[in-house]
Amino acid sequence: MSNISSNLKYLRKKKSLTQQQFADAMEIKRSLIGAYEEDRAEPKYDLLKRIAEYFELTIDEFINENINDSWKPKPKSQGSNLRILSISVDKDDNENIEMVPVKASAGYLNGFSDPQYIKDLPKFQLPLPFLKQGTFRAFEIIGDSMLPIQSGSVILAEYLDNWNDVKTGETYIIISRNEGVVYKRAGNRFKDNKELKLISDNKVYDPYTVAAEDILEIWKAKAYISSTLPDPTPEPTIETLTNMMSQMQKSISQLNKN
């Protein structure tokens, strides 16, 4: 359970703001502040981000920490520094999913924080339950380094505000100055190192590392869209069955030894 209601009330009072004054600062109705503080509703992601920025906190701190007079913020590593993300919204104030095609990926390195650049990207909406919370972006990938996901597929990814949340073995879109836009599997926890190890699923490609200061954004892969349907699973051959039996015998023999 989050601490949004208690944290918001504490932080607002600490700044000696009335609910109306804080609502004016956030450009929302006072009644919404009351609902948030009484835990009758929770702000959407974009508003959560604005509130956290206002109080100079990360979203993770604002949601999960119990902030009071004895609370002290943790020293911020490069992985958890607050970043400003440019987004676009539709006529109903719902966040769009911006599409970054391959031909636009080079320009994205310079325009990722420019609201006008983001506004001009192709955008769409998808009525999927897991898209209701968070900020999402779609990235077209090229190459065969992440087979069986084919070149030309589109990775639907969620913005990762705190890089310390990177998990070993999971896949991410990494935006970096030298490598550009890449889709890879994380080879280490970010907070354990000042660099991130990136691994391809296609073992033809060697793993490599990206320094923290080179990374601009990290997006956690949630789904993908592809016009290439998977091939059917091939029928087992005598050779594959023999190999399977041999492996089973080795496993049984090892168990008997233990």
Q: Which tens digits make up the pLDDT trace of 133-191? A: 889 999 999 999 999 999 999 999 999 988 888 999 999 999 998 889 999 999 998 76
pLDDT of residue 106: 82
Best CA proximity match to 43, nearest among 69, 63, 15: 63
Q: pTM of the full predicted structure?
A: 0.61
Torsion angle of the four alpha carbons 89, 155, 52, 211, in this order, in degrees rounded to the nearest 10: -140
Question: H helices within 163-218, ranges in order?
Answer: none
Instruction: Count the Cβ atoms, other than its own, within 10 Å of residue 64.
Output: 14
- Sign for the CA dihedral angle at 188, 189, 192, 198 comes to positive
Strand extents, DSSP E, the chain: 97-100, 123-124, 136-140, 154-159, 171-176, 180-186, 195-199, 208-211, 215-225
Q: What is the pLDDT of residues 5-27, one digit of tens each?
A: 999 999 999 999 999 999 999 99
Q: Binning pLDDT at 50, 70 and 90, where does residue 30 land?
A: very high
Instruction: Count the Cβ atoms, other than its own, within 10 Å of residue 141.
Output: 21
CA–CA gap between residue 53 and residue 49 (Å, rounded): 6
Beta strands at 208-211 and 195-199: parallel, antiparallel or unpaired: antiparallel
Best CA proximity match to 11, nearest among 53, 61, 55: 55
Strand ordering across the sheet containing 97-100:
123-124, 97-100, 136-140, 154-159, 215-225, 171-176, 180-186, 195-199, 208-211
What is the arithmetic mean of pLDDT over 193-220?
91
Best CA proximity match to 166, nearest among 221, 86, 91: 221
What is the arithmetic mean of pLDDT over 201-212?
92
pLDDT of residue 64: 82
Better pLDDT: 110 or 83: 110
Better pLDDT: 242 or 5: 5
Better pLDDT: 213 or 82: 213
**What does pLDDT average to over the chain?**
86
pLDDT more than 70, % of the chain? 92
For residue 76, pLDDT beyond 60: no
Q: Extract the tokens encoding 77.
A: 């590593």
Name the phi and psi angles at 26, rounded to 5. -90, -5
What is the arithmetic mean of pLDDT over 239-244?
74
Beta strands at 97-100 and 136-140: parallel, antiparallel or unpaired: parallel
Q: Extract the tokens encoding 200.
A: 């391809």
Q: What is the pLDDT of residues 86-115, one digit of tens each?
A: 888 888 888 899 999 998 888 898 888 788
CA–CA gap between residue 100 and residue 121 (Å, rounded): 7
For residue 77, pLDDT beyond 70: no
90, 96 Cβ separation under 8 angstroms = yes
pLDDT of residue 107: 87
